[in-house]
Amino acid sequence: MITKVKLKNWRSHADSTLEFTPGTNALIGIMGSGKSSIMDAICFALFGTFPNLQSKKLKLDDVIMKKPSEKNVAEVEVVLDLNGTKYTIKRSIERGKGTMFSEISAGGNVLESPNSSRVSEAVEKNLKVNYELFSKAIYSEQNALDYFLTIPRGQRMKRIDELLMIDKFEKARTNAVTLANRVSDRRSAKQSVIEQIDVETINQILKELRAIYIETSQEINSLRKKTVDASQKRKALEGEFEGLMKVKEEFEFLKRDERGIEKSLEVVSKNLAALEQATKGLLKEKAQKDFDETKRKISETNAELRKKKTDFEAATSAISDKKSNASSLKKEIDLLGKEYEKKLARKKEYEQFKSEIGADTERQISETKKLLDKATEDATKTYAKISDLNEFIVHLQSPETKCPICETILSEERKKLLIVQKYQQIKQLQETFENLKAQKEMADEKLEKAREAAEKMQMLLTEIAGIDVLRKDLEDLKKNFVETSNEVFNAENSLTNMRREVQNFEERLRESELRRNDLELLMAKFGDYEEKKFEFEQLTMERQQVESRLQEKEKKISGKDLLALDSELKQTIAEEREYDVRINEMEKLLKERMQRIEGQEEKLKEAEKYKEEVLRLEQTIRNLKIFSQALEQTQVELRQEFIIAVNHTMNEIWQAIYPYHDLVGVRLQVEEGDYVLQLQERSGSWINVEGIASGGERSIAALALRIAFSLVLAPQLRMLILDEPTANLDANAIEVLGTTLRERISDIIDQTFLITHDEKLENAVTGSLYKLEREKEKDGVTKVINIA
């Protein structure tokens, strides 16, 4: 049940809130007052669309308020009560952007947001009604009460099948038939393959191939035995041949050794003769003694030389330090000398400036300042006197001027005389003032010069400060520089003597080393003589050993034919290779025959597999045919059940909504494969509503069918929305419809929404009654008035 609807900027509704109750709720108003807009808003809130939007008669932007002022955002909210749970659905749209927000909540908890499609799915899940069912069975649009009758003949069963979702069974049946045909084609293809396979021929080929395979395997085994025998013979011959070859190689190696020893003996003999000649008449002991003495002298000379060099290097380093010190002193003397010369020049400048301006500048400044102050004071007084005289002249020029002393009135002549006198005094005072002014300017200039002189004197005193200390430091540095330079000169003379001593020791060392080298060479010759003598003896012994071994090797190879043995070995290797080649070829042949055997066996397996698959496919075809027949029968039974339920419901309410007694029943019937709506006359005969019934009879029959559809297709909602249902109804029928909606419909439908302009139907209301008003000529907004 819908309990509340809120609209904001929706068509002509600026901000409308309506609350509904069980029973018949009505919206009454003139055309264009905004009645149908409320039903469109309910449908949009629930499913995100409504019939005029679905059919593209309207665009989504068209529902956003344009008059009296254009808005950019519209909002709708619907509150439902389903089995005691409060559901709230909200949606908002923005101009040019579509639906911007959607939400469904239950009991204050958000179920889905903000995706519009997912919110619609949640609504369908909880209401157990989709948009198609709601818009065709529950919501009767304006002038669409007879929607069923407007569907062309031949398409009604298809449309109602879609509402009942029977069309899904038909799609499933069609798919099952298509699948069965495809499976049948596949079975035929497999059967064709089976028929092309000759099983008897394949078995005969397998028998022959297996016999050949066994024969070839036996021949390979025989060749492998021959290969083993040949291999053993080859290994024996290789062992014998390799042994003889090794002995032969050793014999030749010993021959080469023998020749080498002979050559070495010849060389050593020559060396011994040369060494004997070189050491003839010399004693080894005497040479060794001279060598040791020379080494001792070299060691002593080296020690003394190292000491002399150390002293020389120390003296060199000391001289270097002194030179560095002298250089630093020279740089410092130059630096201080420049600074001293600068201060001395500034001192001369100071003495000269002092003689020019005098020593006591402060006294000069003080005296000049006093003169300036006096000139300033005298000038001020003079200026004041001039001002007083000018004021007195002004006073004299006024009528009846009195004497300032005796207070008698002055005559004109007296006043003129006094004025002339005062002007003369003013002239004298002005000359005095100008002189004083000139004196003040001269005093100012003199004071400024005195101050500048004082500042310059102070600056020069600052610059020559410390000149005596600087002179003393400079004299000390020069003294140190002279002393250091003398030390460097004396040290360099001493260093020259030390250098001569080092050179003398180096010369003595070179002579001793030359003597040592000669003695060392002589001792080496004595050593070489002994080594060569020992080497000669060793070579003589080696020659004897080699000759003995040569005799042994010669005995081993005597009488052996290596060429014949090599020929026999090569022949044996060739036989072994020939056996291997034949085995490889026969193994390839054996492998090829095994592949042929496996190929034939695979054909047999494939034939068996296809037979099994054909049986399985035949069973699948049978199952699909049974399934297809079951789906077809299900559609028939569902339609029958639907017709029974609809007809039962229509006849339950027919007498309540039809005001006359000429037509006693109504039914939905199948004729020529499609639905027709029929009315029963008192005689018991049935007539088609289309083409025979009047407009009013047609409308009431359509209303009965609409109510029946709502109850049968959406029993969980038990809701009906009727937009202008009185079209083509006479006054009596309208009165009966109102009575039915007021007294009887609540027994069948929990909640009914009636949208009408006919105020006669106000009596039909048992729930909420709203009157909608709008000043259309002023593009006004809809006003919602709660009447009951």
Before 152, cis peptide (omega within 30)?
no
Structure tokens at 402: 């009195």
Does 713 score more than 80 pLDDT?
yes
H helical segments located in 401-466: 412-463
Q: pLDDT, tens digit, for every residue of 531-562?
A: 667 766 676 777 777 667 666 666 666 666 66
Contact in structure between 12 and 65 (CB atoms under 8 Å): yes
What's the Cα-to-Cα distance from 542 to each of 99, 251, 330, 529, 649, rounded to whole Å?
115, 15, 85, 20, 137
Output the DSSP codes for 718-759: -EEEEESTTTT--HHHHHHHHHIIIIIGGGT-SEEEEEES-G
How buried is 610 (Cβ within 10 angstroms: 0-12 exposed, 13-18 middle, 19+ buried)?
A: buried
3-class DSSP string for 363-384: HHHHHHHHHHHHHHHHHHHHHH
Checking if the pLDDT of 340 tops 90, the result is: no
> 556 vs 76, which has greater pLDDT?
76
Is the confidence at residue 262, as pLDDT, over 90? no
CA distance 782 to 13: 5
* Whole-number Å distance between alpha carbons of 453 and 460: 11
pTM comes to 0.47
Q: Phi first, then psi: what are they for 112, rounded to 5°?
A: -155, 140
Mind giving me the DSSP string for 159-187?
Answer: HHHHHHTTHHHHHHHHHHHHHHHHHHHHH
Do the Cβ atoms of 724 and 694 come closer than 8 Å? no
* Residue 344: per-residue pLDDT: 79
**Given a cut of 90, is residue 6 above it in pLDDT?**
yes
Asked if residues 94 and 110 have their Cβ atoms less than 8 Å apart, the reply is no
Domains of the chain plus CATH, in order, are 1-128+716-788 (3.40.50.300), 319-536 (1.10.287.510)
Provide the pLDDT for residue 382: 81
**Residue bearing the bigger pLDDT, 771 or 479:** 771
Confidence at 9, pLDDT banded by 50, 70, 90: very high
Report how far residue 133's alpha carbon sits from residue 183's, in angstroms, rounded to the nearest whole number: 37
Residue 114 preceded by cis peptide, ω within 30 = yes
Mean pLDDT (whole number) for 648-676: 87
- 3-class SS at 658? coil
**Lowest mean pLDDT: which of 154-158, 252-256, 583-587?**
252-256
Res 464 pLDDT > 80: no
pLDDT in tens, 414-457: 778 877 887 888 888 888 878 878 877 887 777 777 777 677 77
636-to-79, 178, 643 alpha-carbon distances in Å: 39, 21, 11
